[in-house]
Structure 1
Amino acid sequence: MTQLLRPEGLVRSPAFTHVAVVPPGATTVYVGGQNAVDGEGKLVGGNDPAAQTRQTMRNLHTALAAGGATVQDLVMLSIMLTDGVDLGAAYPVAAAELAGATPPVVVTRVAGLAVPGALLEVSAVAAVTR
């Protein structure tokens, strides 16, 4: 079973852990950058960070499922927000979609993303142990 750790001496957060230890034999699933495009490649959500986050997280769920994983199997989640996007508008939507999972999370700011108009992008690593 994967261990998610919050070592003493590091900030305590209910939203994430700092360390993930994956056991031997687990299947690792890597999810490349997902953003708010639909199945036809059209950007969803306009300039609304919450709407874009909902679509981005839908895409994450779909990608994880293709690899036999769920958000409960995440061992790393990276969220990139473009400059000026309010983390407070995007993160609660993402957190709700994580269904209580608390993988290590990396949040970074970037000048822009490959999809014009995209406000955020997520990538992830999951470890399936079942």
Structure 2
Amino acid sequence: MNSIQRLRPAGLVSSPAFSHVAIVPPGATTIYIGGQNSVDADGALVGADEMAAQSRRALSNARTALEAAGATIDDVVQWTVLFVDGADLAAAYGAIASDLASDEPPLVTGAQVAGLGVPGSLVEIGAVAALIR
């Protein structure tokens, strides 16, 4: 095996948005991206209280972190997305869905939480990626 296998087994809900299982081949380099909020390089919150704007910026920050490690969104094995309770999930996913669309989507874990580390943050996005060279 020389690529990541993403599986959507029969018997589990079928979704174009996520896979259920990922198999990373031996020898791959694993990259962990810590939760990225909607902040600029100075740490200032971007997007005020707009869920879509914050989601786009958090994903942009995650992409920047991936690129620093030599990876892209296509190398992501699993996304972790945290939302503040009461957040507009449709707006969040709607704002970033086209960036994450894939024939073999990664795994996705989403959760609603009471709060995040950056005051005013509505969303935080982390990732695990694998590079196969």
The TM-score by the shorter chain falls in which range? over 0.9
Unaligned runs of 5+ in 2: none
TM-score (norm: length of structure 2): 0.94
Matched, 1:119 2:122: yes
Aligned residues: 130
Cα distance in structure 2, aligned partners of 1:19 and 1:38: 33
Which secondary structure does the structure 2 equivalent of 1:43 belong to?
coil
| Residue 30 (1) aligns with residue 32 (2) | yes
Corresponding residue of 2:66: 64
Q: How far did residue 94 of structure 1 move?
A: 2.0
* Match in the other structure for 1:15: 17
**Map 1:77-92 → 2, pairs under 5 A:** 77-92=79-94
Q: CA RMSD in A?
A: 1.0
Aligned equivalents of 2:105, 2:121: Cα separation in 1: 25
Once residues 96 and 108 of structure 2 are traced to their aligned partners in structure 1, the CA distance between those partners, rounded to angstroms, is: 11
- TM-score, normalised via structure 1 length: 0.97
Secondary structure, counterpart of 1:124 in structure 2: strand
- For the 8 Å contact 1:71–1:99, the answer to whether it is kept is no
Distance 1:54 1:37 in 2: 11
* 4+ runs deviating over 4 angstroms: none
Q: CA deviation at 1:99?
A: 4.6
Structure 1 residue runs without a partner (length 5+): none
- The amino acid across from 2:118 in the alignment is V
Deviation of 1:54 (Å)? 0.8
Q: Does residue 102 of structure 1 match 2:110?
A: no
Q: Is the 8 A contact 1:61 1:71 kept in 2?
A: yes
2-side partners of 1:39 and 1:99: how far apart? 27
